[in-house]
Amino acid sequence: MPEIYDVAIVGAGPAGSASAIHLARAGWRVVLVDRGTFPRHKPCAEYLSPAAEPLLRDLGVLAELASTDPGRLRGFRIYAPDGTYFQGDFAATKAPDGGSLYETGLSIARYHLDDTLVRAARAAGVEVREGWRMAQIVPDATTGGHTLVPAVGNDSITARLVIAADGLHSTIAKRLGLQRESRMRKIALVAHLRGIAGLTGYGEMHVANRRYVGLAPFGDGDLCNVAMVVDEGRDAKKLAGHPQDFLLASLATFPKLADRLAAVTVERQTLAVSHLAVGVTRLSTAGVLLAGDAAGYYDPFTGEGIYKALHGAGIVARVATAALRANDTSAATLARYDRELRADFRGKRIIEMIIQASVQVPPLMNHISWVMRRRKHMADTIVAVTGDFLSPWAVLNPGYLLRLVV
C-alpha cells in the first residue's frame, strides 16, 4: 500500500522549505517536492528585510548563510524621478530601552538561500524529491486529503494536507480555482551586475519613467543584484527576446544611475518573470494551504517577499499542526490561516498600494522625496516599516500622512 504522508509541500523555495522544517520538527511525516534541482538561480530581488534574520536563526540556517558573505544593508536610499533622494536607516528606529531594534537587512543570492534551506529540511527529517513536477491534484476519499500526480512517472504522492508553495504562478492555486488575475501587469528583470560605481552599504531604489529598479549589493561590495520592474503593456514588446539588452539600456534612463554604468559587466544573465502581480480568492480550501508567492503577490517595491514567506511558514505550521491533530482539514478549520496571514500583512498591503500609486505619478514621488529629505525621522520610519520590524500603522496614521503631503 502506498505511503500516506501527513503533509506534502509543493515548491522548495523559502516558504516551502521553512514550512517543511517547522512541520518535521513538530513530528509530522513531510514530503517536499520541487520541479528544479538545487542549487539553482531564481529571479528575485534577493533582499531580506531585517526582521527575516531572527526567523532564519530559528530555522537553524543563519550561521551557514553568514558564511556566504551576504551583503549587510544599513538602510535604503530612495531616488525620485527628478534625481533627488532620501535615506532611511534601520538603526535609527529605537526600542523602548533606547537600543536599536534591527540594524541591517541582508542581501543573499537565492542560489545559496534556497539550497541551504532545502538541506536544513533534509536534516530535519523531511523527504525531499527534486526534479518532481506536478501535473494534477486529485481529492483522495480515503484520507480526506489529496493525491499529487506527477507529470512523468508513477510516483504519486498522497497526503492528508497539501501546502502549495509553488510560486507566483502556482499550478495548484490555478487547478483549484483559487487564483485571480490582477489589474496590475508588471514584468520583473533580474540580473547580477558587477562594477556599478558608487555602491555603498545601503540598498537603493530608483524611480523614473514609471519604472523602478532596486540595487542590493552583495558582501564583496562590487557585485550587485539589480531588479527592475516595468509595465507589461508598455514594455513587453520592446524587451521580447532581449531582456538583458533592455535592462542595460533602461538602467541608463534613471538620473542617478546613468553616469555609474561605464564599467558594468554582467555576472549572471538576466532572468525575467511576467504577470508579476497575482491575487487569490482564498488562501486555503479543504486540505490545502497556499504559502509564499502562491498566496498572492502585489508589489516588490517594499521587498517583503522572503520575509512574508518565512513568517507565513510559522503560521502554516501552527494551523496545519492543529488541523492534523484534530484530524480535521476542512475548509472551515483551515480558514484560520486566511485570517491570521491577512491580518499580519493588511497594513503592509495598504502601504504597497500607496507606494505603487506614487510611482505612477512622478510629481508626487518628487514631492515625497523632498519632504523625506527635510524630515529624516519620517524617512527612517517608512524604511523601518518596509523592513518589517515596525508596525505599518506608524505610517498609516493621520499625523504621518498629513506631514507627507504638506
Q: What is the mean pLDDT of the chain?
A: 92
What distance in Å separates the CA atoms of residue 290 and residue 315, rounded to the nearest whole number? 11
Tens digit of pLDDT for each residue in 227-240?
999 988 788 888 88
What distance in Å separates the CA atoms of residue 143 and residue 160, rounded to the nearest whole number? 6
* Cβ–Cβ under 8 Å, residues 180 and 280: yes
pLDDT bin (cut points 50, 70, 90) of residue 405 is: confident
In terms of Cα–Cα distance, which of 295, 306, 268 is closest to 113?
306
In sequence order, the 6+-apart residues with CB closer than 8 A to the CB of 57 are none
Report which residue type is found at 323: A
Residue % of the chain over a pLDDT of 90: 76
* Burial environment of residue 80 by CB neighbours within 10 A (0 to 12, 13 to 18, 19 or more): buried
In terms of Cα–Cα distance, which of 59, 95, 91, 56 is closest to 76?
91
155: Cα separation from own chain's centroid: 31
Residue that has been written with the C-alpha cell 531604489 in this structure: 205
| Residues paired with 115 in a beta bridge | none
Report which residue type is found at 394: A
* Burial environment of residue 58 by CB neighbours within 10 A (0 to 12, 13 to 18, 19 or more): middle
In sequence order, the 6+-apart residues with CB closer than 8 A to the CB of 108 are 46, 48, 65, 68, 70, 71
Q: Has residue 303 got a pLDDT over 70?
A: no
pLDDT bin (cut points 50, 70, 90) of residue 226 is: very high
**Domain parsing of the chain, residue ranges:** 4-63+108-182+278-347, 71-107+361-405, 186-273
Crossing angle of helices 362-374 and 331-359, rounded to 10°:
90
What distance in Å separates the CA atoms of residue 149 and residue 155, rounded to the nearest whole number? 8
Look up residue 134 and give its three cell numbers. 506536478
Q: In what order do the strands lie in the sheet with 85-89?
A: 85-89, 75-79, 203-208, 211-217, 223-231, 186-194, 265-273
pTM value is: 0.94
Domain 186-273: CATH class, spelled out: alpha beta
Can you give the pLDDT at residue 299?
A: 67
* Cβ–Cβ under 8 Å, residues 114 and 38: yes
What distance in Å separates the CA atoms of residue 329 and residue 322, rounded to the nearest whole number? 9
Tens digit of pLDDT for each residue in 171-214?
999 999 998 877 778 889 999 999 999 999 999 999 998 889 99
Q: In what order do the strands lie in the sheet with 47-48?
A: 47-48, 105-107, 71-73
* Burial environment of residue 1 by CB neighbours within 10 A (0 to 12, 13 to 18, 19 or more): exposed
In sequence order, the 6+-apart residues with CB closer than 8 A to the CB of 177 are 281
| 66-70, 71-75, 163-167: segment of lowest average pLDDT | 66-70
What distance in Å separates the CA atoms of residue 400 and residue 398, rounded to the nearest whole number? 6
pLDDT bin (cut points 50, 70, 90) of residue 298 is: low
Residue % of the chain over a pLDDT of 70: 98
319: Cα separation from own chain's centroid: 21
Of the options 3.30.70.1290, 3.30.70.100, 3.50.50.60, 2.102.10.10, the CATH number for the domain spanning 4-63+108-182+278-347: 3.50.50.60
Look up residue 227 and give its three cell numbers. 531588479
pLDDT bin (cut points 50, 70, 90) of residue 300 is: low
Tens digit of pLDDT for each residue in 127-170?
999 999 999 999 998 888 999 999 888 789 999 999 999 998 89
How far CA 110 is from CA of 47, 211, 282, 299, in Å, comes to 9, 24, 28, 19
What distance in Å separates the CA atoms of residue 204 and residue 215, rounded to the nearest whole number? 5
